[in-house]
Chains A and B, each alone.
Chain A
Amino acid sequence: MRVLEPKGAAADLASISAIRSGDESAMAQLYDRYSSIVYSVALRVLGDTAAAEDILQEVFLHLWRNPNLFDSSRGNLAAWLAVISRNRSIDTLRKRKPETDAAEVLISVEPDLAGEAERARAMEKVRGVLSQMPPSQRASLEMAYFQGLTHTEIASRTGEPLGTVKTRIRTGLLALRKAFGT
Chain B
Amino acid sequence: MSVHEQFGDDLALHALGTLPGEDRGALEKHLETCATCRRELEELRGDMALLALSTAGSKPPQRARERLLAAIADEPRAGNFPALTAGLEGVRRWVLLPWFAAAVLAVAAFFLWHQADRLSLQVADLQRKAVKQQGELERAREIVQTLTATDAMRVTLVAANTTPQPQGKAIYARDRGSLIFMASNLPAPPPQKAYELWLVPMNGAPIPAGMFRPDARGSVTLINPPLPAGLQAKAFAITVEPEAGSAAPTMPIIMTGAGE
Contacts and interface: CB of A to CB of B under 8 A. Distances in A.
A74 to B, nearest CB: 9
Interface in A46-67: 49, 52-53, 56-57, 60-61, 64-67
Nearest to A109: B46
A68 B81 contact: yes
Contact of B72 (A24, A90, A110, A174): A24
B190 interface: no
Contacts of A39: 58-60, 64
Contacts of A109: 43, 45-47, 49-50
Nearest to B18: A150
B22 interface: no
B47 A177 contact: yes
A108 interface: yes
Nearest to A178: B47
Nearest to A103: B80
B43 A79 contact: no
A40 B56 contact: yes
Chain A interface category by residue count: 35 or more
B11 A56 contact: no
Contact of A56 (B57, B60, B73, B78): B60
A15 to B, nearest CB: 13
Interface string B61-105: 101110111011101011111100000000000000000000000
Main SS at interface, chain A: helix
A70 to B, nearest CB: 11
Contacts, number: 192
Interface-central residue, B49, B60, B72, by most chain A CB under 10 Å: B49
Interface in A151-174: 151-152, 163, 166-167, 169-170, 173-174
B6 to A, nearest CB: 12
A68 B85 CA distance: 12
Contact of A106 (B42, B48, B53, B73): B42
A108 B36 CA distance: 13
Given A22-B77, A105-B45, A141 B51 contact: yes
A82 B16 contact: no
A177 B40 CA distance: 12
B56 A119 contact: yes
B79 A176 contact: no
Contacts of B67: 53, 57
Nearest to A182: B43
Contacts of A56: 60, 64, 68
Contacts of B71: 57, 61
Contacts of B46: 75, 79, 107-110, 177
B39 interface: yes
Given A108-B42, A148-B16, A57 B53 contact: no
Given A64-B72, A150-B18, 5 more contacts: A36-B59, A79-B45, A108-B42, A170-B44, A177-B50
Interface of A: 20, 22, 24, 27-28, 31-32, 35-37, 39-41, 43-44, 49, 52-53, 56-57, 60-61, 64-68, 75, 78-80, 82-83, 85-87, 90, 99-100, 105-111, 113, 119, 122-123, 126-127, 130, 141, 144-145, 148-152, 163, 166-167, 169-170, 173-174, 176-177, 180, 182
11 contacts: A20-B81, A27-B72, A36-B59, A40-B55, A53-B60, A64-B79, A75-B46, A106-B42, A110-B46, A145-B48, A167-B9
